[in-house]
Amino acid sequence: MTALEIRYTANALPDAADALSFMTREVRWIETMRARKTASFGLPYNYSGQAYAACEMPPVIASIRARAAALAAHPFNNCLCNLYETGRNTMGFHQDSYEGLVPSSLIAIASLGATRTLVFRSIDRARVVAVPLEHGSILLMNETTQREWQHAVKREPDAGLRVSLTFRQIATQREQGPENEVSEPFADRSVTSRRSQRFAARAPYKLG
Ligand SMILES: O=C(O)CCC(=O)C(=O)O
């Protein structure tokens, strides 16, 4: 069974308090899901049966994206946001789909507000790893982790409001200008594997 390859950076966002205030006041949240509210910025993206249209990233989100991209060492062109108004808002166990993503894309989760625990469960259900996601942190996951593990945000009744911003690199070129261009060929698995190896070598949470 493959190790859990994730990288967690606490205090990654110096302006986290202002960003949380922006996300709660300025974002128009979509209410199509029962368990939480969502919003998407950047390129259009389909997630969990919901089609999100293209939407320019406001500067606050673009600056979080820049921080996540620096940690991931590659650009992101979509940000799917989740609003957990209380600890009763959740996300069930799932693997993020790589359909439409650059295969070597890492997925970044930036967290604002109350700490919620991201629970990883190996596909064979033999192992569980709980990672508290603190205000201002960024967690990176790679494609191997998506293939071999599921993750969830479970109910934590005492938790307060939390926003997560999840960044992905969608395999679409040119539409958004040079800063969002996919810098590598979509189907080049050798790049995927080199990026994954580099990530795995540096992942402090490499458990296995
Ligand atoms: O809100 C979170 O931290 C979890 C996000 C997540 O699991 C996802 O976008 O797939």
Q: What is the pLDDT of residues 169-187, one digit of tens each?
A: 999 754 344 444 433 322 3
Ligand 1: does its nearest atom lie under 6 Å from the Cβ of 96? yes
Ligand 1 centroid – CA 111 distance (Å): 10
Answer yes or no: is 23 within a domain: yes
**Which two structure tokens, joined as six digits, stand for 198?**
């580099």
30: left (phi over 0), alpha (psi -120 to 50) or beta: beta
**Does residue 208 form part of some domain?**
no
Task: State the residue range of the domain holding 47.
Answer: 6-202
Beta strands in 13-134 (DSSP E): 37-42, 45-47, 50-52, 78-84, 91-94, 107-113, 116-122, 128-133
109 is a domain residue? yes
**CA 95 to ligand 1 center in whole angstroms:** 10
In this prediction, residue 207 carries a pLDDT of 40
Domain membership flag for residue 79: yes
Report how many domains make up the chain: 1
Domain harbouring 72, CATH code: 2.60.120.590
> Quick check: helix, strand or coil at residue 83?
strand
150: burial class by Cβ within 10 Å (0-12, 13-18, 19+)? Answer: middle
Residue 38 lies in a domain: yes
Q: What is the tens place of the pLDDT at every residue in 43-66? A: 998 877 888 899 999 999 999 999
Tens-place pLDDT, residues 13-35: 999 999 999 999 999 999 988 89
Q: What local confidence, expressed as pLDDT, does residue 183 receive?
A: 36
Is residue 207 domain-resident? no
> Is 153 a pocket residue for ligand 1 (Cβ < 6 Å)?
yes
pLDDT band for position 194 (cuts 50, 70, 90): low
Closest residue by Cα to atom 9, ligand 1, is 166
Q: 9 by DSSP, 3-state: which?
A: strand
In a domain, 167, yes or no: yes
Residue 129 CB neighbour total at 10 angstroms: 15
- pLDDT bracket for residue 202 (50, 70, 90): low
Query: b vs e for 75-114, b when ≥16 Cβ sit within 10 Å of the residue's Cβ?
Result: bbbbbbbbbbeebebebeeeebebebbbbbbbbbbbbbbb
SS3 117: strand
Residue 107: inside a domain: yes
Give the lowest-confidence range in 33-37, 97-101, 123-127, 185-189. 185-189
Backbone angles phi, psi at 93, to 5 degrees: -60, 130
CA of 166 to the centre of ligand 1 (A): 7
Q: Determine the distance separating the centroid of ligand 1 and the alpha carbon of 143, expressed in angstroms.
A: 14
Q: Is 91 in the pocket of ligand 1 (CB under 6 A)?
A: yes
CA–CA separation, 178 vs 195, rounded Å?
21
Q: Is the CB of 166 under 6 A from ligand 1?
A: yes
Structure tokens at 28: 């128009």
